[in-house]
Structure 1
Amino acid sequence: MSQQAARSEDVTLPDPDEILLAVRDLDAGYGDLQVLSDVDMDVGDGEYVVIVGPNGAGKSTVMKSVFGLTTYMGGQVVFDGTEISRRSPDQIIHEGIGYVPQNENVFGSLSVRENLEMGAYILDEVPEDQIERIYDRFPILRERSTQKAGTLSGGQQQMLAMGRALMLDPDLLLLDEPSAGLAPDLVTEMFDRIDKINDDGTAVLMVEQNAKEALRRCDRGYVLVQGQNRYQDAGETLLNDQQVRQDFLGG
């Protein structure tokens, strides 16, 4: 049986008919190493959900498991009514999920535009209208469209990685530590861009090291500890919970 995450009675959970992603009793890891045990998690249609917790808690493993990049050991991952637990990343992309890993998330030897085109590789032809929408969302990418991605700044590479993941207009965007390695003055800008992506209708599931800022902005949050659910609640509620702050947010 899964370990029920502690939550307040008044937290607003997604309506069952509006759950886009449902993770149930998930056991997963790498090879013979089990990292996640009985993890439960929901993302509603258009919702913004954040996973926080200490280093080594299994946060990134949840994201990779949803995207088919770990060893599946049990439980279910259901997306938009379809079980995807045993599917490959190529198959999962077709279902409407985009994923931005924390590291090595651009093709450094390719230009900015070529990176965006790679985001639409499953299509017969590159959707020019979608590239234009990405350029409108991230104007710096238009300015640097012919520049090699490996020569971009860290913040620009993160924008490019998100832009590539958005090329297929996914229903759910998975973001793994999007502010990692960014200069402090760029972190707020990155969060603002993620807010806008969510405001435009894309559901977001994000792992983030800047837990306080992420919880301020999200709809709901999960606290993961040693590969298991510990707390779930509205972002602001978790942020203001004295026990959560003391144990996981630095007071």
Structure 2
Amino acid sequence: MSEWVTNGDSMLQVSDLDAGYGDLQILSGVDMNVESGEYVTIVGPNGAGKSTVMKSIFGLTNFMGGAIEFNDESIAGLAPDEIIHYGLGYVPQNENVFGSLTVRENLEMGAYILDEVPQERLDDIFERFPILEERQDQKAGTMSGGQRQMLAMGRALMLDPDLLMLDEPSAGLAPDLVADMFDRIDRINEAGTAVLMVEQNAKEALRRCDRGYVLVNGENRYMDDGDALLADEDVRQDFLGG
């Protein structure tokens, strides 16, 4: 495993994290960091604990030990409705929209902690995802998979988070929509939002990100620049299909 390093200016700092569900421990001593504006991807085999890392950061698992800090403040053990106040947005893989609500209502739910939904935030989301403006009165449950994913991302961006966490954003999308989804994530990052992403399409994710982590059995196995991991023969043979 490459040595885990930080420049001391990490936005997100996960150290020696142990976490799981109930009494079942999934993560053991996981270290991870995201710098301001960085694009970081977590890859690994099924059951490696990738989604559990994301859920643990966002307060959705049983925190068992270690540290999770965001902008030098501990968020370990906090509930999701507390964590969003710190500037994190999270898009789960499944059930990530309110199907019975309209597109606009879903977006407004993303800003529920505010006294009033800022029109400029809605305008920004509509500029990023024009289809959402066109379909703003449509029930989210009637939208295509790609449109629902854009809506889920848009809702998470309503509070203009410093860090956007995405769990398998390309899952279930038609092949011709996957590249478009990655392009949209690239643009979100290029606009200044840091991204932490779990992704099944490991090669494409590593090609686009700044850094990547490979998790195996709930533990760190490799960490390096995305291009370096793609070029690493062991990583390619064991986790990227050669």
Smaller-chain TM-score range?
over 0.9
Which of 132, 136, 141 is residue 145 of structure 1 equivalent to? 136
CA distance in 1, matches of 2:65, 2:100: 38
Gaps of 5+ in 2: none
Q: Which residue of 2 aligns with 1:161?
A: 152
Q: Which residue of 2 aligns with 1:7?
A: 2
Indicate yes or no: 2:94 matched with 1:99. Answer: no
CA positional deviation for 1:86: 1.3
CA distance in 2, matches of 1:14, 1:71: 26
Which aligned pairs between 1:191-202 and structure 2 lie closer than 5 A? 191-202=182-193
Which aligned pairs between 1:42-53 and structure 2 lie closer than 5 A? 42-53=33-44
Shift >2 Å, 4+ stretches: none
Q: Deviations over 1:99-137 (max 9, x none)?
A: 000000000000000000000000001111100100000
Q: SS where residue 15 of structure 1 aligns?
A: coil
CA distance in 2, matches of 1:14, 1:74: 20
Identity across matched positions, percent:
73
Indicate yes or no: 2:74 matched with 1:75. Answer: no
Q: Which residue of 1 aligns with 2:209?
A: 218
Q: Which amino acid aligns with 1:77?
A: I
CA distance in 2, matches of 1:226, 1:211: 17
Q: Deviations over 1:48-105 (max 9, x none)?
A: 0000000000000000000000000000000000000011100100000000000000
Q: Which residue of 1 aligns with 2:123?
A: 132
CA distance in 2, matches of 1:241, 1:25: 25
CA distance in 1, matches of 2:2, 2:77: 30
Q: Which amino acid aligns with 2:122?
A: I
CA distance in 2, matches of 1:66, 1:247: 27
Across the aligned residues of Structure 1 and Structure 2, the Cα RMSD in angstroms comes to: 1.0
The count of corresponding residues between Structure 1 and Structure 2 is: 242
Q: Which residue of 2 aligns with 1:3?
A: none
CA distance in 2, matches of 1:34, 1:228: 11
Q: Which residue of 1 aligns with 2:19?
A: 28
Q: SS where residue 22 of structure 1 aligns?
A: strand
Q: SS where residue 137 of structure 2 aligns?
A: coil
Instruction: Calculate the TM-score normalised by the size of structure 2.
Output: 0.99
